[in-house]
Amino acid sequence: MTVTSPCITTRGLNLWYAKFQALLDVTVDIQHGIITSLIGPSGCGKTTLLRCFNRVNERYGYVTTTGEIKILGKNIYDPDVSLIELRKTVGMVFQRPNPLPISVYENVVFGLRVHNERSDLKREMLDEAVEKALTEVGLWTDLKDRLHEKATHLQLEQQQKLCIARLLPLKPEVILMDEPCSALDVEGTRAIEELMFALKGRYTIVIVTHNMAQARRASDECIFMLMGRLIEHRRTEDLFLNPQNPKTAEYIEGRYG
- How confident is the model at residue 256, as a pLDDT? 63
**3-class secondary structure, 50:** helix
pLDDT digits (tens, 9 = 90+) for 10-60: 999 999 999 999 999 999 999 999 999 999 999 999 999 999 999 999 888
The CATH class for the domain spanning 8-252 reads alpha beta
Residue 238: is its pLDDT beyond 60?
yes
Query: Nearest-5° angle of CA 222, CA 47, CA 256?
Result: 65
**Pairwise CA distance, residues 254 & 202, whole Å:** 34
| Mean predicted lDDT score pLDDT of the chain | 93
pLDDT digits (tens, 9 = 90+) for 80-108: 999 999 999 999 999 889 999 999 999 99
- How confident is the model at residue 254, as a pLDDT? 80
134 contacts 165 by C-beta, under 8 angstroms: yes
User: Percentage of the chain surpassing pLDDT 70?
Assistant: 96
pLDDT digits (tens, 9 = 90+) for 62-73: 999 999 999 999
**Pairwise CA distance, residues 45 & 32, whole Å:** 22
Give buried/exposed letters for 68-105 (b at 16+ CB in 10 A, else e): ebbbbeeebeeeeeeeeebbbbbbbbeeebebeeebbb
Residue 257: is its pLDDT beyond 80?
no
Q: Where are the domains of the chain?
A: 8-252
pTM: 0.93
- How confident is the model at residue 185, as a pLDDT? 92
Q: DSSP strand E in 152-228: where?
A: 174-178, 204-208, 221-226
- How confident is the model at residue 2, as a pLDDT? 46
